[in-house]
Every structure is written in structure tokens, then in C-alpha cells.
Structure 1
Amino acid sequence: MAETRAATFGGGCFWCIEGVFQRLRGVEAAVSGYAGGATEHPTYRQVCSGTTGHAEVVQVRFDPEQIGYRELLEVFFTIHDPTQRNRQGPDVGSQYRSIILYADEEQRRTAVELIRELDESGALTGPVVTEVEPLYAFYPAEPEHQRYYDGAPQAPYCRAMIAPKIARARERYPERFERD
């Protein structure tokens, strides 16, 4: 078995990103958290204030023999709008920005290449504004933010925001899903 790798993505509320990634074949864990800012060990309240520089992100631990980094990126770009700066749907602020935090040069190169391909394809409503930055630190979110969708699938936010993202990704990439 290959060594587990990590990928870190932000694209709006972390509950939405986590809800999709935790269902993918080859993903061993999807952990909601904060990254991309300067405040050490931030809290949810601090990040929501928009003053920490952090984004709500999900760190995905995956087995590259089962799912590749590029495949994860493709799913990521399916479940949020990478043409919106500092917002996703009703969530507004820099903490909801579209961001890829790379662990190494290979991840950076792959992300930049896919963004270029998306821009050149003309498939999106505008240019990709997703930030591509090195990951310096990842801070897991508080326990109540972990696996949120699994604990409250009938909550209005989950039904309106997360369930459609899961359905869209499952429809586009059915072979990549292994569980509900």
C-alpha cells in the first residue's frame, strides 16, 4: 500500500467540501479546519470574523494508489465555483475563498496546470480565481465541525447546500464514490 498523502482545499464552507471528499474511494480522512492565515490555533469565531487571514479548508488524507491528487482537484472544481472571489453562495468573506494549499512542488504544478486547462476550456462563467499557495500550517476545526453533514443531513443548510454538491459530484464521477 502507498503512503498516505494529504491535500488541502478551501471552497466556501468546509462542511460542504468535507461532505463530498469523505465519500470518495481512496480518501482515508477529510478533516475540516483552517489554513492560509497568520493566527496560530484560530477558533471558528476568529476565522468567521475575517481577521485571521485563514480560510475554512478541508485536509484530505488519501491513498494515491486509489485516487490521485489530480482526481481530487477535479472533484474540488466540480463542487464549488472557482470563479467567485471570497464567497460561495450565501457564504461571503475571505474565509470562504477558493484556495488550494499545496504540500510540495508536484501538487503546485498539478493545480496550476489544471487551472490553466479550465481557463482555456471556456467551460466556466469566468476565469478561475482560486489561490494556489504553500501550506504552512493546518489547524483542525473544533469537534462540532467535523463530519457535520453526517450528523445533521436533514438540517436546512445541509439539504440546501451540501446534499446538492454530493449529488453533483456523484453524478459526474460515480466511479470515485464508495460510500454514502
Structure 2
Amino acid sequence: MERAVFGASEFFSKKPFYTVIRGIENVHVGQLKGANIDIVEIWFDPWKVSYTEIVDLFFDLHDPTTRQDQSLKNQSCIFFTTVTQLTAAKQKKNEIKQIIKKDVVTEITPICEHLIDLKQMKEISY
């Protein structure tokens, strides 16, 4: 099993991750305490679904060109856990930027920087 973690300002529903892509085994949705950012943690089987496919769905679920302010409180984030995930996320971000001809403000950051905050997530009911 591999882990993927994404965040964005109040848009997440776990339903698309379960219904759209086979190979996703578990999805946990929460909100970062003290921030206006929803987090989705996905556990998936890399033999059935690629990380790139999950990143594609993440970008389909929100507008990656909008940032309400300059803080982490209102934006989208990809929290990578491996160099492979970092590479895939950067490639997709650059691809979107070339297609839409706008700046993509999605932050790509290591999960370790936010590990304490993610452990303090509160559960969101859907």
C-alpha cells in the first residue's frame, strides 16, 4: 500500500476517490485544525492505480489557480512522501500550467513538514 495526501480549501468529498478509481483501499477526510484546508489521505494499491492517476483526480476536483490569500490557510497542497510522488506532482503541475496558461498555485511540500498537523486532524462527516 502507498499513501497519498492532498489538501485544499473546503472542497473535498471522499466519494470521488472511492467511485472513480479502482485500487484505492482507504480514504480519510479531515480538516487541518486552525486552518481552512480540508485534507484527504488516500491509501492505494500501486499495482492497481498509479499515483499520477490520483493526482489527476485531485486537480480535477478544484481550481489550482486560485489562492484566497498568501497563507497555507486557503490554497491547495500536495504532500509528497517519496521522490517519485514529488516528480509526478511537479510534472502534472507544469502540464496544467502549460495548458491553461495561468499560474498554478498548488504547493508541493514534504509530508514530514506537516506530520504533526495531520495527526491533529479532526474528522469531517459527509
Give TM-score, length-normalised by structure 1: 0.59
Q: Which residue is equivalent to 1:31?
A: 28
CA contact (8 A) 1:11 1:96 kept: yes
Q: Determine whether 1:72 maps to 2:54.
A: yes
What do you get for the CA RMSD once the two structures are aligned?
2.2
Contact 2:3 2:43 in 1 (8 A): yes
**How high is the sequence identity, in percent, across the aligned residues?**
28
- Aligned residue pair count: 120
**Partner letter of residue 35 of structure 2?**
V
**Compared with structure 1, are the counterparts of its residues 96 and 26 closer, same or farther at alpha carbon in structure 2 (3 Å cutoff)?**
farther
- Tell me the residue number matched to 1:114: 92
TM-score (norm 2): 0.81
Q: Distance in 1 between matches of 2:63 and 2:3?
A: 22
Gaps of 5+ in 1: 36-43, 49-54, 88-92, 150-180
| 1:20-44 deviation per Cα after TM superposition (whole angstroms, max 9, x unaligned) | 2133311111112356xxxxxxxx4
| 1:133 equivalent in structure 2 | 109
Q: Does the residue aligned with 2:35 lie in a helix, a strand or coil?
A: helix
In 1, the alpha carbon distance for the partners of 2:92 and 2:83 equals 14
Deviation at 1:118, TM superposition (A): 1.0
Q: Deviations over 1:17-72 (max 9, x none)?
A: 4232133311111112356xxxxxxxx4x335xxxxxx421111001111110000
The 1:139/1:20 distance shift into structure 2, 3 A limit, reads: farther
The ranges of structure 1 where at least 4 consecutive aligned residues each deviate by more than 6 angstroms after the TM superposition are none
Unpaired runs of 5+ residues, structure 2, are none
| Aligned CA distance change for structure 1 residues 96 and 25 (closer, same or farther; 3 Å) | farther
